[in-house]
Structure formats: structure tokens, C-alpha cells
Amino acid sequence: MKALLQRVLSAELKIDGVTVGKIDKGLLVYLGFTEGDDKGKVDYVMDRIGKIRIFEDEAGKINLDLLAVGGNVMLVPNFTLYAETKASRRPSFSNALRPDLASELFDYALKTFDEKFFHAERGVFGADMKITSIADGPINVIIEK
């Protein structure tokens, strides 16, 4: 499982021109799943996302987590995190988990984050999503389990 976290000042997700998710200061998180991923890995990654210290404290040091800064989260399914580009210029996505299994794990990730931390805005599995965001930093972190 991979999670790409981007610290943002804001993010908005639209499907067919309709806003389905919007956050202010927080984390825009893309989630990708691969063979062998399970609920235990999802639990680990969701815990890391909720507790990662990626925001500045009063001294300007990156030392605070989402809860400390009142941040928001948007979780977005993204199979392209498992793109393989070594063999050709056209990415292969054969390392991405089958959609039916990945969808189940994504739903579990949403439920887990909501129960452990707070409600996360969310993308829609399999949808053509348009996301606009304002990066903060920019700070991007990959969590992999």
C-alpha cells in the first residue's frame, strides 16, 4: 500500500463538474493498493496519516500533526501510484490491485480514518475526478507499507 500525502492550503474534488469534496488546510492523500495489501496495512497507513507531524509549530519547525493544527483530510483512490515505468515509456499498472479488491480496501480506509480521527473528505473509486489544490510548502511525503 502506498499513500502520497501532500500538505495543502486547500483542495477541491469534482466529478462531472459537481464538487463532492473540499478541504481547507490539511492533507490531500492519494491511496494506492497492490497485491498482498490487507486491512492490517490499511490500519497502519491510516494511523501514520493521522499522526504524521508535517505542520509547523510556533517556532517554524515541522512538528505538529493534523489534530494539533485543526487540519482536514481528503482521501483519494489512485491506482497510478503503482505505475511501472522501467520497461517502457508507457506506464504499466499491472502492480495495482484488482479494482474490486482495491475498492474494498479504500472503503475500509475511509471507515478506519473516520472512526480513529475525524471525517475525511473522499474521492470516488473508479470515477473521473478533477482535483484542484494549493500546495503548502510544497511538502509531499510517501508512506508505504
Q: Residue 25's pLDDT is what?
A: 97
The SS3 of residue 28 is strand
Q: Residue 87's pLDDT is what?
A: 85
Segment 136-143 mean pLDDT: 97
Q: What is the mean pLDDT of the chain?
A: 96
pLDDT in tens, 23-80: 999 999 999 999 999 999 999 999 999 999 999 999 999 999 999 999 999 999 999 9
Statement: residue 99 has pLDDT above 90: yes
Q: Residue 86's pLDDT is what?
A: 87
d(CA 134, CA 25): 9
d(CA 7, CA 140): 6
pTM summary value: 0.95
Domain boundaries, the chain: 2-144
User: Look-up: residue for cell 484542484?
Assistant: 132
d(CA 114, CA 116): 6
Q: What is the CATH number of domain 2-144?
A: 3.50.80.10
User: Look-up: residue for cell 501510484?
Assistant: 81
